[in-house]
């Protein structure tokens, strides 16, 4: 008997309203063979619905500056169009790609298959070694299907719909999206008891343009560093108000480590030193693997 997904997923790919839509999506198989519904999110805010009237794509146009506002707009769209009703979700996962992510339709199918078979709550594809990136831990590691991780980037995340609908309302004052990934989502996951998070290394994408949020000042007159610090404080407040604390729970201990870590855009010397034991462990593992070849 062939495995059948109980629900489809929603994959959102952003678009600037000017360049070629879906330019970096390799349609190696027909979109009709996709195990997901595809939405083009036009962040220019110019309504160009007529361009997609005869296509199989969903289309949403909302003027936004960055990922935080996109998440908020998607949340309102899902509510308005009754894609969720009494905690019953039309989609299993929602994935959000930027318009400069090079990946194929079949790879997204594979990504969703692995997410479902591994019962992942939050996940992302790995990044190719020639990608532009901020966080080296998400670079592709050959030989692994998935590797657990405390959090995934807001760059190209996949969320279970219940987790997305729970954290998205807290994003309304965050434009850049920074802090949503490392602080807010793990906090909500802990509260919901949905902590299965991983990078899927069996699938990789290429991030084709340099990171652009680092020094940018948004319309709220804040930088991404200021927003990530505010999200850290908000997440601590949410945890205090909503969570049933179990101090011996390993997920709580992990979350406390995440929330207590101050992030200002730089990697501290202390953090670099902390990586040395893992570096030595990985060197040893590589040498052992090589000895069996």
Question: Residue 111's CB: how many other CB atoms inside 10 A?
Answer: 28
Whether the pLDDT of residue 6 is over 60: the answer is: no
Nearest to 138 by CA among 130, 147, 146, 127: 127
Report whether 36 contacts 9 (CB < 8 A): yes
Whether the pLDDT of residue 81 is over 90: the answer is: no
CA 177 – CA 213 distance, rounded (Å): 9
Q: What is the DSSP letter of 120?
A: -
> 9-267 maps to which CATH number?
3.90.550.10
Instruction: Please provide residue 61's backbone torsions phi and psi, each rounded to the nearest 5 degrees.
Output: -125, 115
Whether the pLDDT of residue 269 is over 80: the answer is: no
- Could you read off the pLDDT of 146-199 as tens digits, one per residue? 999 999 999 999 999 999 999 999 999 999 999 999 999 999 999 999 999 999
- Could you read off the pLDDT of 51-60 as tens digits, one per residue? 999 999 999 9
Q: Greater confidence, 84 or 228? A: 228
What is the helix (H) or strand (E) element at residue 227, kind and residue range? helix 224-242
- The residues with which 36 forms a beta bridge, in sequence order, are 9
- Cα angle 91, 97, 99 (rounded to 5 degrees) comes to 135
pLDDT of residue 284: 85
Q: What percentage of the chain reaches a pLDDT higher than 90?
A: 75
- Could you read off the pLDDT of 207-241 as tens digits, one per residue? 999 877 767 899 999 999 999 999 999 999 999 99
Whether the pLDDT of residue 115 is over 80: the answer is: yes
Domain ranges of the chain: 9-267
Q: Which token pair is 93?
A: 């996962």
Q: Structure pTM? A: 0.90
């Amino acid at each position: 008997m062939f495995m059948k997904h109980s629900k489809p997923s929603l994959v959102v790919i952003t678009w600037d309203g000017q360049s070629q839509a879906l330019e970096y999506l390799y349609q190696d198989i027909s979109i009709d063979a996709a195990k997901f519904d595809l939405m083009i999110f036009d962040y220019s805010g110019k309504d160009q619905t007529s361009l997609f009237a005869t296509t199989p794509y969903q289309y949403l146009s909302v003027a936004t500056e960055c990922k935080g506002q996109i998440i908020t707009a998607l949340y309102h769209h899902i509510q308005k169009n009754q894609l969720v009703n009494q905690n019953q979700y039309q989609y299993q996962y929602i994935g959000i790609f930027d318009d400069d992510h090079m990946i194929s339709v079949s790879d997204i199918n594979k990504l969703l298959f692995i997410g479902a078979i591994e019962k992942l709550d939050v996940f992302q594809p790995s990044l190719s070694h020639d990608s532009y990136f901020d966080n080296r831990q998400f670079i592709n590691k050959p030989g692994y299907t998935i590797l657990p991780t405390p959090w995934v980037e807001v760059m190209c995340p996949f969320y279970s719909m219940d987790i997305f609908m729970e954290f998205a309302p807290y994003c309304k004052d965050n434009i850049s999206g920074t802090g949503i990934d490392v602080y807010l989502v793990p906090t909500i996951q802990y509260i919901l008891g949905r902590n299965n998070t991983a990078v899927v290394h069996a699938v990789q994408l290429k991030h084709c343009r340099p990171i652009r949020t680092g020094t940018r000042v948004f319309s709220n007159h804040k930088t991404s560093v200021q927003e990530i610090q505010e999200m850290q404080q908000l997440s601590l407040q949410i945890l205090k108000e909503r969570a049933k604390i179990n101090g011996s729970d390993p997920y709580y201990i992990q979350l406390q480590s995440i929330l207590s870590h101050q992030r200002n855009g730089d990697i501290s010397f202390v953090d670099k030193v902390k990586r040395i034991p893992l570096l030595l462990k990985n060197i040893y593992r590589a040498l052992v693997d090589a000895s069996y070849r």
